[in-house]
Amino acid sequence: MLPVARLGSRLVQTSTLRGIRLPLLASAHFSSGPIGGPRVAIVGSGPAGFYTADRLLRRAGAASQAAPEADGSATSAALRIDILESLPVPFGLARHGVAPDHQAMKQCINRFDALLAEQREAAESATGQPQLRWFGNVTVGAGPPAPCGAPVPEGPPPPALSLAALRSAYDAVILAHGAQDGRDLGVPVVDVATGRPLHATSRGTAAHGAALERMLVNLLPARDFVCWYNGQTDHTECPVPALAAPAAAWLPVSASELAPGLTGVRVAELPAGAGARALVVGNGNVALDVARALLRGDRAFEKLDVPRAGVLEVLRRHAAAPGDRRIRHVEVIGRRGPAEVSFTISELRELVGAAIARHAGQAPDPEKFPLDAADPPGEEVVLVVPEKALVLQALDAAPAPARPRVRLLALLRQAVEAAVDPAEEPNVYARAGRTLTFRFFAAPTAILAQGVATPVEPEGPSADGCPASYYQVAGLRLGLSTVDPATGRATPRNTGTGLETQILLPASVVLTSVGFRVGALDDEAPIDTAAGANRLAHDGQGRVLPAGEPQPPADSSGSSSTALAPVYCAGWAKTGPVGVIASTMADAYATADVVWEDLAARGGTRVDTAPGFEGLPIDHSQAITAAQWALLDREERARGEAAGALRDKIPSRAEQLRLSRGGSASPE
């Protein structure tokens, strides 16, 4: 029996997810009369989009029940919501961003899918009209140009709409498209052969508006790697050649290969035969997800919801490669100290729990750590923490943490105490089958690049706008800081202390997990240009501001006369890429309340012609409906069941469209 919570005058079922009580979605409401009343478009079908729709349906249902004879009752009961999605599949971050081995965090998909099922039933009914509809393969706005090396969509482009077109067909438009791009490091790229910078990494200076940083083989945002193993549309090829095709060519450079200008800094190279090293820059949950995937490989995803041919086969080939060709060493790099990490305790425990147990002389619990417990001798993951004493000092000096972080930092201390300091055991990388290194107080100051074929020539792009030749990443140069004994925070190192201030880390792969970037879909909905902002410009309540409009103070409610009505934003598009699914739900509800109150203040419907999706200037036959998505969903589940897995995702856009439209699967 599900617990029940009261929301206003309605009883709402709730579920508990990792100790957080989340209200389940309201049932869709249907009207047997003609479609009328206000029409709302939501751009993006991730958690923010679905939760916003859910809240609006709740408000409409509550209003019609509370005042069935009031003037606004027809408006409430006849509310129509269309969710528009650029991909042929729904659920956004919940499907493509949450790690496959974190199925509990994907439970919201079940409720979203139930809502779509009710939509399908209403569409098939002779009398019912769904209040909520989903349309996939519909793009709003042109968006920024794809960076060089980004996946190229298959087949014809999906129907594209301007924000102005949506505004002419709906009474309110809500942008819930999230953050589509990973942030770059934004540091110089240095040629290891010459010691000189190759090119500035600021966007807009290289072909296609992409940084040289995006043109380096085996260097990419962690998001791209996550999209690949999660089977996001168009991410059909492994973006890490060193993983997909282990070879000597991808092994890290040695100190002897570095230019004289780089050799004044200590080079922390791996011993010969130790295999390849991957650097993950960032100290958040995504960084740990990526580290876990690299270390556990195919065993972690065997029975879960990943593309079996495109992901599992690649990971299996990598696991079967000779040890001196495989990625056996993963290093997580944070510019701040251990007390300032942003990952959660559950993410950390998955990675370090077994090592802590072994340090205490115990075997890993096979129920809690089944993969670690099954590691063959010599393949156990060894924890490594450089400058271990400094890290423990930082934990000692840190102010008392807020209650939710007490257990996290206690576990992190256990991990540091169980780790090996390479200064005390220099041969750790030679003896260990695999290592996981946590390096704190280290900020990238340069990306090391090694020439492949001919150097990149930004002035001479190929026909597609991207350079025809490239470099591969060779590692990072890190600037090192130390701990402020008064605060436990990072502070610059003084050269007079005897501590080294820089270090070179040769590596085969560098994955950057330093945050996401919210993109503007349309010039009418600009990005907030305030210092440090990474969201759409809005009035503080989700009303999007027009281009050139100054941002009001944080406590200002704004007004409909100055906002770009009727355009709103929700989720990461509104807050920036922060928080988890539960916080996204709360924000989506807040935006929905603002939209509802604005609709009520305007008296409901504003548009008299070309209402809703049917009035949009696109080829409607190219859009995917919820009923068509159900066909693809059924096929993925069936393929997964046949292989003993939850699902076999299909990342090919062409295949997604073919199966959604009732076509047969392509031959294997």
What is the CA angle 512-517-521, rounded to 5? 145
**Cβ neighbour number for residue 453 with a 10 Å cutoff:** 9
Rounding to the nearest 10 degrees, give the CA dihedral for residues 569, 572, 576, 582.
Answer: 120
Closest listed residue to residue 579, CA positions, set 590, 592, 567, 568:
590
Q: Which residues of 370-403 are buried (b: 16+ CB within 10 A; e: fewer)?
A: ebbeebeeeebbbbbbbbbebbbbbbebbeeeee
Segment among 48-57, 66-75, 227-236 with least mean pLDDT: 66-75
Contacting residues for 533 by C-beta, under 8 A, at least 6 apart: 527, 576
> Does 377 or 334 have the greater pLDDT score?
334
Q: What is the 3-state secondary structure (H, E, C) of 167-212?
A: HHHCCEEEECCCCCEECCCCCCEEECCCCCEEECCCCCCCHHHCCH
What pLDDT does residue 454 have?
Answer: 42
What pLDDT does residue 199 have?
Answer: 57
What pLDDT does residue 649 have?
Answer: 97
Confidence of residue 201 (pLDDT cuts 50, 70, 90): very low
- The first and second tokens of residue 113, run together, are 């899918």
CA 26 to chain centre: 27
Question: What is the average per-residue pLDDT within 435-447?
Answer: 95
> Does 437 or 397 have the greater pLDDT score?
437
Domains of the chain are: 35-144+156-180+518-622 (3.40.50.720), 183-294+321-515 (3.50.50.60)
Res 418 pLDDT > 90: yes
What pLDDT does residue 16 have?
Answer: 35
- On whether the CB atoms of residues 69 and 84 are closer than 8 A, the answer is no
Segment among 228-242, 450-464, 648-662 with least mean pLDDT: 450-464
**What are phi and psi for residue 626, nearest 5 degrees?**
-65, -35
**What are phi and psi for residue 323, nearest 5 degrees?**
-60, -30
CA distances from 328 to 215, 270, 291, 434, 442 (A): 25, 11, 11, 5, 21
Closest listed residue to residue 349, CA positions, set 440, 415, 254:
415
pLDDT in tens, 265-314: 889 999 988 999 999 999 999 999 999 999 988 888 999 999 999 999 99
Strands 490-492 and 502-506: unpaired
- On whether the CB atoms of residues 74 and 63 are closer than 8 A, the answer is no
- The first and second tokens of residue 285, run together, are 């949950």
What pLDDT does residue 306 have?
Answer: 95
- On whether the CB atoms of residues 48 and 176 are closer than 8 A, the answer is yes
What pLDDT does residue 151 have?
Answer: 62
Res 258 pLDDT > 90: no
pLDDT in tens, 486-501: 777 788 887 666 678 8
Confidence of residue 463 (pLDDT cuts 50, 70, 90): very low
**DSSP per-residue letters across 219-259:** EEEHHHHHHHHTT-TT--S-S-HHHHS--GGGSPPPGGGS-
Q: Helices 403-418 and 345-359: crossing angle, nearest 10°?
A: 30
SS3 content of the chain, % helix, strand, coil (to 5): 35, 20, 45
Closest listed residue to residue 526, CA positions, set 586, 561, 567:
567
Q: How many CA atoms lie within 13 A of 46 on its CB side?
A: 27
Length of the chain counted residue by residue? 668
Confidence of residue 155 (pLDDT cuts 50, 70, 90): low
Distance, in Å, from the CA atom of 67 to the CA atom of 84, rounded to the nearest integer, reads 31
Closest listed residue to residue 352, CA positions, set 364, 342, 362, 340:
364
Res 556 pLDDT > 90: no
Segment among 154-163, 309-318, 392-401 with least mean pLDDT: 154-163
Res 203 pLDDT > 60: no
pTM: 0.85
Res 231 pLDDT > 60: yes
CA distances from 250 to 12, 237, 506 (A): 55, 18, 11
> Does 291 or 6 have the greater pLDDT score?
291
pLDDT in tens, 557-594: 433 333 344 899 999 999 988 888 889 999 999 999 99
Question: What is the average per-residue pLDDT within 390-395?
Answer: 94
What pLDDT does residue 318 have?
Answer: 92
Res 87 pLDDT > 80: yes
Confidence of residue 518 (pLDDT cuts 50, 70, 90): confident
**DSSP per-residue letters across 569-622:** E-THHHH-S-S-HHHHHHHHHHHHHHHHHHHHHHTS----SS-SGGGSSS-GGG
Segment among 16-20, 116-120, 522-526 with least mean pLDDT: 16-20
Distance, in Å, from the CA atom of 394 to the CA atom of 409, rounded to the nearest integer, reads 11
Distance, in Å, from the CA atom of 379 to the CA atom of 388, rounded to the nearest integer, reads 23
Closest listed residue to residue 443, CA positions, set 337, 598, 560, 555:
337
Question: What is the average per-residue pLDDT within 5-21?
Answer: 32
Res 464 pLDDT > 50: no
Contacting residues for 59 by C-beta, under 8 A, at least 6 apart: 76, 592, 593, 596
- On whether the CB atoms of residues 315 and 301 are closer than 8 A, the answer is yes
Distance, in Å, from the CA atom of 108 to the CA atom of 651, rounded to the nearest integer, reads 21
Check residue 400 and report its DSSP letter: P
Check residue 3 and report its DSSP letter: -
Contacting residues for 635 by C-beta, under 8 A, at least 6 apart: 650, 659, 665
pLDDT in tens, 96-114: 999 999 988 888 998 898 8
Contacting residues for 145 by C-beta, under 8 A, at least 6 apart: 208, 209, 210, 465
Strands 39-43 and 30-31: unpaired
What pLDDT does residue 36 have?
Answer: 56
Question: What is the average per-residue pLDDT within 593-606?
Answer: 80
- On whether the CB atoms of residues 599 and 76 are closer than 8 A, the answer is no
Please identify which residue in the block is written with the tokens 């199925």: 103
Closest listed residue to residue 567, CA positions, set 79, 38, 42:
42
Distance, in Å, from the CA atom of 198 to the CA atom of 471, rounded to the nearest integer, reads 10
Confidence of residue 410 (pLDDT cuts 50, 70, 90): very high
Question: What is the average per-residue pLDDT within 215-225?
Answer: 89
Question: What is the average per-residue pLDDT within 213-228?
Answer: 87
Average pLDDT, the chain: 80
pLDDT in tens, 164-197: 888 888 889 999 998 877 788 889 888 898 888 8
Confidence of residue 459 (pLDDT cuts 50, 70, 90): very low
- On whether the CB atoms of residues 177 and 521 are closer than 8 A, the answer is yes
> Does 513 or 37 have the greater pLDDT score?
513
